[in-house]
Structures are given as structure tokens and as C-alpha cells.
Amino acid sequence: MHEETPKVKIISLVIACSASLLIFFLLYTLSGFQKSKYFSDEHKAANDYGELLRFEVDRELNSLLFISNGLSSYLTVYKDELDPEKINEILKDLWTKAEHVKNLGIAVGYKLTYVYPLIGNEKVIEKDFREIPLQWKKVKLAIDSREGVLDGPLNLIQGGKGIIYRYPVFIDDKYWGILSTVIDTDSFMNSAFKRVKDKRYTFAIRAENKEVFYGDPALFKHKGIALIQSHLPNNKWELAIENNDLKLPLYFLVLDVLIPILSLLTGLALYYYVKERFRLTSHSLTDSLTNLPNRRYLDNKLLEASSDASNNQQMLAVMLIDVDYFKHFNDTYGHHFGDEVIKRVAKLLQLKIRNSDTLSRMGGDEFVMLIENLKAEKDIILITTKIIESFQAEQVVLDKNIQITVSIGVAINSPNENADFKALMRNADEALYMAKGEGRNRFKFYAK
């Protein structure tokens, strides 16, 4: 394993990309969740405001509806002594006290008999409701249902717009007539909402026939508006409320930009971090000159191998291989040349190992070959002979023909004794010393 192999790059890239994407989706989902919470809170605020408006409409209307109740009671109680003058007096009194009322009318049967004030309303006097198709429907509904009916806003016969409250009067269970309270739409609306005006909201109201009579009709087509229904006597109005503050706060926009940047930066940092980790781990166990396992790796491996050998009663061999007169290469051709010689030695030794063997560089010109599960001593003789032989041919290193030889010290752990890797290393070193002493370019077995 060496630094910056394509494999390491790909693994680092995959880890970094996955983490980057994960962070992106996580942050994106979180921010989306926050956004929808923000919108839902704002929408709820608009809804609450709508409820307040509806309450104000109901409140303002109730006081007007009671006029009819009172008048109806009067007519029922004094049914036998009704006189036009008294009725007009009562209408005047009620009209003076009431706010937003354009006029009050009483139809005896179906014809409007009394109207107060008369001035400006002369046109309607003596009108028969059955001959006013636009109004008859609601008048009939009031009579049939025996309940008050709110009609409008609608165009009035006498001109202008108004909301009309019709209240049927039944005396002795027989239809007697109808009371009309004509309400000035603008005055009513302005009064109803004067206490609850709020610049943060825009609203509009439409009647049952979908005609918008208050506010901007386009509001009903806007997205994200709150819709509230106001239930009136036999009528329904619909309120559309828009939250003017419903603009995404700046920090959401900043987040939209920051999230991809943050995810990318995390990915990038992770890429270099993972690559560095790979480099460090591979470095800590690998010799950087030859890419062979280093002494640290070997120490662990020896520990493992000697315990395996003891447990399974197997033979274990340690070969210490040292280049002969290596200093000479350094001294003659320089340190760099010496390095190339070490690399060549590593390569030649690598050709001689099996998959189950471990070749490592101890440092300097010294290598260790660990041979596990050795079947017989003669096998090791075969390997060492082959190694010595492989160095007999001249080598070309950096355009120089040189002769490299090695000396080998071998220590074997027999299957019936507990393997002690420290002792093995010591013995192999002793054997190597002997090989050197006997003239080099040879192998020596440790003998007790």
C-alpha cells in the first residue's frame, strides 16, 4: 500500500462525496422543514386575524339585527292598536339611535307601507316585493323559513348599495309582514374593522354570489391566503386574508447559498483527511523506500506468527538478510545509488517469497523474511540457496554494472517448543554474524 494510489483516491472521493451529499440532504431537509414551519406559522397568524375580523363583523351586525327583534315584539303586542303615526315615531326613534342604517321599512303583507326616513326613499314606498325579482327570492326565504335573512350587499332601488336584513313578522301564527333594515355597507364595514386594522394583513370580503364588495377582488386569486367563512343569518360571506409579511426572511436565502457551499467544503476537507489517514496508516506500517512492510509491521506479525506456531505446533523460520559491503555502494556512488541498490535487493527478494511469507525491511541494508508453517528444515535450505543464487548475476543499477551479494542468518523454531520471536530474532542475528564472519555471500543456520 503506497500513498496516492488511484484506489486510495477513489475511496477518499467516494467517502467525501457520500458525506457531502448526506450533509447536503440533511441540511436541505432541515431548512425545508424550517421553511414550511415558517409558512405554516404565518398562515396560522393570518387565519387568526381572519377569525378576529369575522368576530368583529358578527359583533357589529348583532346590534343591528336586534332592531328587528324589538320592532317585531312591538308589532305583535300592539297588533290591535297599530296606528301609522305611532309606527313612524318608533321607526324614527330606532333609526336615530342606530348606526349605519340607511332606512328602516315595514311591509304589511308584501307591500312596503312604512319607510323611515321617507326623504330619498319615496321610490320604494308601496312597492310590492313580489314585483322586485332581485329581492323577492330572499324575502320569500325569510317568510318560508320564518327566520331573518341577510341579503346583499346589493343595488338598492332608491340608489346606492346596501345590506338588507329581512325579518318576517308572524302574528297569531299568521304571516303579517316583513321588516327591513337597510345597512350602509361602507359605513358598516369601516366601523366593524376600525379597531382591528393591521398593516401586516390585507383582506377582502365576497358575498355568496362571489362578488367582492370589500377590498381588492384579486386577493382571492393569490396563493397562500387564509380563507374564513362568516356565517350570517341565511347567508355566507367569505374573507380572504393575506399576510403581507409572508416573504422568506433573508436568513433562509443565506442558508440556500450556504448549504451547498458547506456541503462541498465538508466533502473537500473529508477528501483530504481520508487521503491523509490512508497515507499515515500506510506509512506507519510500510517502508517508504521499498514499499515493503517495515519493522513495526514485522514486530506485530512476529508476535502473531509465533503464537500461531505455538498453538498449532508448526515450524517457524526467521531469515535475517543483510547486503554485503553495502557501505561501499554508498561511498563509491553516493547515497542515492545506495537507495537504488536497496530497492533492487527488495525486488529480488520479493521474487523468492510465497504468499504466506512476509518480507520486511528492518532498516539500512537489512531485511527479514518470516516463513510460517514450514514443513521441513530442508525447505528453508532450498529457499536460502535460491536467494543466494539469485544474487549471483550482475545487476544494472542506474547504468552501472554491479555485483550485489547478501549474507543470511536463519533461526528456526521447532514445532514442539514455544515460539519466542525475540529469541528467534536474536538467534538469526547471531547466525548472520557467523555468515559474515565466514566470508559473506552465504547463509548460516543458528546452532545452539
Q: Which residues bind Mg ion (CB under 5 A)?
A: 322-323, 326, 365
Count, residues in the chain: 448
Are the C-beta atoms of 318 and 330 separated by less than 8 Å?
A: no
How far, CA to CA in Å, does 177 sit from each of 11, 118, 370? 91, 19, 119
Least distance to ligand GH3 from the beta carbon of 364, Å?
A: 3
Q: Is the dihedral of CA 193, 199, 200, 205 positive or negative?
A: positive
**Residue 330 interaction partner, one of ligand GH3, Mg ion, none, beta carbon < 5-8 Å per kind:** ligand GH3
Complex with Mg ion: residue 249 or 363, whichever CB lies closer: 363
How far apart, in whole angstroms, are the C-alpha atoms of residue 176 and residue 430?
A: 134
C-beta of 176 vs 297, nearer to ligand GH3: 297
> Which of residues 60 and 324 has its CB atom nearest to Mg ion in the complex?
324
| Contact predicate 219/225, CB 8 Å | yes
Return the number of the residue (278 or 326) whose C-beta is nearest ligand GH3.
326
**Cβ at position 4, least distance to ligand GH3 in Å:** 21
Collapsing DSSP to helix, strand or coil, 208 comes out as: coil
The residue ranges that bind ligand GH3 (CB under 6 A) are 322-327, 330, 335, 338-339, 342, 364-365, 436, 440
Q: Which one of Mg ion, ligand GH3, none interacts with residue 377, CB within 5 to 8 A by kind?
A: none
Task: Quote the longest CA-to-CA distance of the chain.
Answer: 152
**Among ligand GH3, Mg ion, none, residue 338 binds (CB under 5-8 Å by kind):** ligand GH3
CB of 257 to ligand GH3, least distance (A): 52
3-state helix, strand, coil in the chain (%, to 5): 50, 25, 25
* Contact partner, 412, from Mg ion, ligand GH3, none, Cβ < 5-8 Å per class: none
3-state secondary structure of 417: coil
CB neighbourhood size of 80 (10 A): 6
CB of 390 to ligand GH3, least distance (A): 18
In terms of CB distance, is 215 or 409 closer to Mg ion? 409
Which does residue 339 bind out of Mg ion, ligand GH3, none, counting CB within 5 to 8 angstroms by kind? ligand GH3
Task: Give the three-state DSSP class for 326.
Answer: helix
State in angstroms the smallest separation of the CB of 325 from Mg ion. Answer: 7
Closer CB to ligand GH3, 139 or 369, in the complex = 369
Set of cell numbers at residue 308: 500461531
**Residue 129 or 326 with smaller CB distance to Mg ion:** 326
Tell me which of ligand GH3, Mg ion, none is bound by residue 436, counting a contact when its beta carbon lies within the kind-specific cut-off of 5 to 8 angstroms: ligand GH3
Q: Which does 340 bind (CB under 5 to 8 A by kind): Mg ion, ligand GH3, none?
A: none
Report the DSSP pairing between strands 400-402 and 395-397.
antiparallel
Q: Is 441 left (phi over 0), alpha (psi -120 to 50) or beta?
A: left
